[in-house]
Amino acid sequence: MIAIDEEAEKKEILRHYRKLLRSSKPFLQAGDAKLIKKAFNTSNDAHKNMRRRSGEPYILHPLAVAQICVEEIGLGTTSIVSALLHDVVEDTDWEIEDINKEFGPKVALIIDGLTKIAGVFEYGSSQQAENFRKMLFTISEDLRVILIKLADRLHNMRTLQSMPRNKQLKIASETIYIYAPLAHRLGLYAIKSELEDLYLKYSNREMYDSIMNKISTTKAIRTRFINKFAKPIEDALHSSGYNFKIKGRPKSVFSIWNKMRKQDIPFEKVYDLFAIRIIVDAEPESEKAVCWQVYSIVTDFFKPNPDRLRDWISTPKANGYESLHTTVMGHSGQWVEVQIRTTRMDEIAEKGYAAHWKYKDNINKEESSLEQWIAKVRDMIEQKTSDTSDATALEFIDDFRSNLFAEEVYVFTPNGDLKILPQGASTLDFAFEIHTEIGSACIGAKVNQKLVPLNYKLKNGDQIEILTSSKQKPNKDWLGFVVTSKARSKIKDQLKTAKRDVAEDGKEILLRRMKNLKIHPTNENYHKLRQFFGLENQFDLYFKVGRGLISQNDLKRYNENKNTTNKAKRAAKISDAKTFEKEIKKVKGNERDMLLIGEDMDLVDYTLAKCCNPIPGDDVFGFVTVNEGIKVHRTACPNATELMSSHGHRVVKAKWTSQHEIAFLAGLMIQGTDRVGMISDISKVISQDLKVNMRSMSIDTDEGIFHGKIRLFVNDTLHLEKLITKIEAISGVEQVNRFD
């Protein structure tokens, strides 16, 4: 047992508390310091016997969250108090009523939004999604809930190394799935970038370390290049009398990885590693003119790429982001991104929503695009609140998330009013944006005076006139091409009304048929029926019966199959990670809490997921499905993030046992310059040199460049890497990558 130096810990806690007070001193009003002290003492006392996974006193976590709120987001006293108390109700005997009594209704409301829901959730739902939905509902009351939650998540990610691997994967996936895009949407770019980098660090450590090392080794070269590039611009700005700062803008590890992955290129070919930011002081009324003057100076020295000019000053992004971006050609033939903005714009870009309010009185009197977005979120939440019976938490999060991720498209009404919609929005999204009744009756549109269908994707600058018909009704196909949550929500509402009538009839039919087959209408039997037919809830069961998709014969088949094998019974017992650990410990002892792939087939029903085809050596996790046992996925699987973030309670730790006698299917994508004998050389390396069995091989050539896909059987990742190295050594082969 490790000895604890209580005196040293008290000093450490006090040091963090004093740092928090120093950071908040500039904006403290009379009585604020006393309130912060009271919150600190309350939290310290409530958490006094608690420790984090790392072994440190728990109070250091709320102190760190409060510090992030002040330093990195720019929040005030109410937020500091709420951050210090954010875990008190969830983890101790304190109730919301106690917070309300001691610290007032504002703090109580924020703490309530931050407190996780306890208890069991509906079948097919997710605790994380429920918690997130509850937190989002408080946007209607106080946006600080979200900002403090982001600070909480950032500190948890910074200290994730002390968590077990399956928890790391769950928390990291949840972060990239919801919290990073939310930080982006609220304009918190520094926090968004750090969350993304930390996600990569814990989901793909090898890649993270590799990029970090390459950034580190090329830093001196980049610094010299940027200094040389910036020198003439600095001189010109000085002589023009501007007060400014120029700094190199390092690309984040995650964004480099994302570019490598999306464009299928190595680190060395990520060209926009070179970037600078010019931050210039300007009076509010002359900001736009000053930024364009600076742009003119930059382009006096360097040729701009006309396709890479982005003007987010005339039309700010929906999260309030304002900046002028251009990409210019440097002296040595390297493209350099240049961002031009004022001091105010830069603070809003870094601190987002909180900084926006600081400057609100100085700038436009019109409602900002960030306020418009928050108003939309409130509308969306109010729509969902009115129909929580049908809209599951997961569905809510999916809709919300689709709007978080999207970039914007700027379009106009026939009268010239500007509307901002997510990239990929259709004319139907635009119709619902105008009014629900117009969307429901929409039959098409005129875009720039030309007739277009409902699924036409809007482009920047389009002017749209909606065409309607009183006979039109929403149909299920519409959900395939609308992207805004408002359109999706309204279409689903109208479809559900029709679906509900069918389900009511189905319920009566099912009860009659169950009575004939002597199946009692108990909750347990309904649950078994749902499992048998692979349905998520009772409503879907009634609906399928009502539509005739589940017949009397299907129910007879269910009745005959009720006596399942022992193995299936064992698999049915395992419904989440906790029950899996319980079952495996019964058989394998208390030391075992993970699935050993290759050993535990007799104990649990598991299969390798077809979406990512894991092979020995891959970093993997097990996912408890509803009725197909445990599926083993790679942590790099395209579906992994969604599974781990939305259903973290079903993620189980898994690792490979040695099984070289088994071959696993893997795919390779090959690219290079074509020549006579290329296919023969590739086949020789695979079949003769390494004795690997191929399932299929297809190669296409176009203008002297070939692209090939090969599916083959390998023993593990080492075997696969050896094969890739051999193929890469073949003359003319430029790139070899694994695909799922």
| pLDDT band of 373, cuts 50, 70, 90 | low
- Is residue 315 pLDDT above 70, yes or no? yes
Q: Write down the pLDDT at residue 358.
A: 56
Query: How many domains, in total, are found in the chain?
Result: 6
The reply to whether 111 and 192 lie within a common domain is: yes
For residue 302, give its domain range: 208-358
Q: What is the CATH number of the domain that holds 172?
A: 1.10.3210.10
The reply to whether 149 and 57 lie within a common domain is: yes
The reply to whether 407 and 451 lie within a common domain is: yes
Q: Write down the pLDDT at residue 593.
A: 64
Mean local confidence (pLDDT), 251-266: 85
The reply to whether 191 and 48 lie within a common domain is: yes
Q: What is the pLDDT of residues 540-557, one digit of tens each?
A: 888 888 888 888 888 888
Query: Could you tell me if residue 365 is inside a domain?
Result: no
Residues 709, 697 contacting (CB under 8 angstroms): yes
The reply to whether 421 and 286 lie within a common domain is: no
Q: Write down the pLDDT at residue 161.
A: 92
Phi, psi of 690, rounded to the nearest 5 degrees: -110, 0
Q: What is the pLDDT of residues 445-480, one digit of tens each?
A: 999 889 999 999 998 888 999 998 888 888 888 988
Query: Could you tell me if residue 366 is inside a domain?
Result: no
The reply to whether 54 and 165 lie within a common domain is: yes
Q: What is the CATH number of the domain that holds 416?
A: 3.10.20.30
Q: What is the pLDDT of residues 635-680, one digit of tens each?
A: 888 888 888 877 777 888 887 775 545 567 888 889 888 888 888 8
Spatial CA neighbour of 734 closest among 678, 677, 671: 671
Instruction: Please identify, among 616, 636, 656, the residue that sits at the C-terminal boundary of a domain.
Output: 656
Residues 671, 611 contacting (CB under 8 angstroms): no
Query: Could you tell me if residue 548 is inside a domain?
Result: yes
Q: Write down the pLDDT at residue 152.
A: 93
The reply to whether 502 and 417 lie within a common domain is: no
The reply to whether 109 and 80 lie within a common domain is: yes
Q: Write down the pLDDT at residue 650.
A: 81
Residues 660, 715 contacting (CB under 8 angstroms): yes
Q: How far apart are CA 136 and CA 400, in angstroms?
A: 10
Of the residues 12, 71, 91, 674, only one is catalytic, namely 91
90 is catalytic: yes
Q: Write down the pLDDT at residue 572.
A: 46
Query: Could you tell me if residue 370 is inside a domain?
Result: no
Instruction: Please identify, among 522, 541, 562, the residue that sits at the C-terminal boundary of a domain.
Output: 562
Q: Write down the pLDDT at residue 374.
A: 67
The reply to whether 148 and 251 lie within a common domain is: no
Query: Could you tell me if residue 394 is inside a domain?
Result: yes
The reply to whether 589 and 650 lie within a common domain is: yes
Mean local confidence (pLDDT), 611-637: 83
Phi, psi of 457, rounded to the nearest 5 degrees: -85, 125
Mean pLDDT of the chain: 81
Q: Write down the pLDDT at residue 129.
A: 63
- Is residue 121 pLDDT above 60, yes or no? no
Q: Write down the pLDDT at residue 245.
A: 92
Instruction: Please identify, among 544, 562, 580, the residue that sits at the C-terminal boundary of a domain.
Output: 562
| pLDDT band of 723, cuts 50, 70, 90 | confident
Which residue did the predictor score with more confidence, 700 or 5?
Answer: 700
CB atoms within 10 A of CB 199: 24
Q: How far apart are CA 345 and CA 280, in angstroms?
A: 10
Highest mean pLDDT out of 157-161, 542-546, 623-627 = 157-161
Query: Could you tell me if residue 364 is inside a domain?
Result: no
Phi, psi of 420, rounded to the nearest 5 degrees: -110, 120
| pLDDT band of 135, cuts 50, 70, 90 | low
The reply to whether 630 and 726 lie within a common domain is: no
Q: What is the pLDDT of residues 558-578, one digit of tens each?
A: 877 764 444 444 444 666 777
Query: Could you tell me if residue 374 is inside a domain?
Result: no
Q: Are strands 303-304 and 324-329 parallel, antiparallel or unpaired?
A: antiparallel
The reply to whether 483 and 507 lie within a common domain is: no
Q: Write down the pLDDT at residue 383.
A: 59
Q: Map tokens 């002081």 to a residue.
A: 281
Q: Write down the pLDDT at residue 379.
A: 66
Helix orientation angle between 485-516 and 427-434, rounded to the nearest 10 degrees:
100
Residues 699, 643 contacting (CB under 8 angstroms): no
91 is catalytic: yes
Spatial CA neighbour of 589 closest among 577, 603, 575: 603
Of the residues 5, 45, 90, 508, only one is catalytic, namely 90
Query: Could you tell me if residue 703 is inside a domain?
Result: yes
- Which amino acid is residue 637, in one-letter code? C
Whole-number percent of the chain with pLDDT over 70: 82
Q: Write down the pLDDT at residue 592.
A: 62
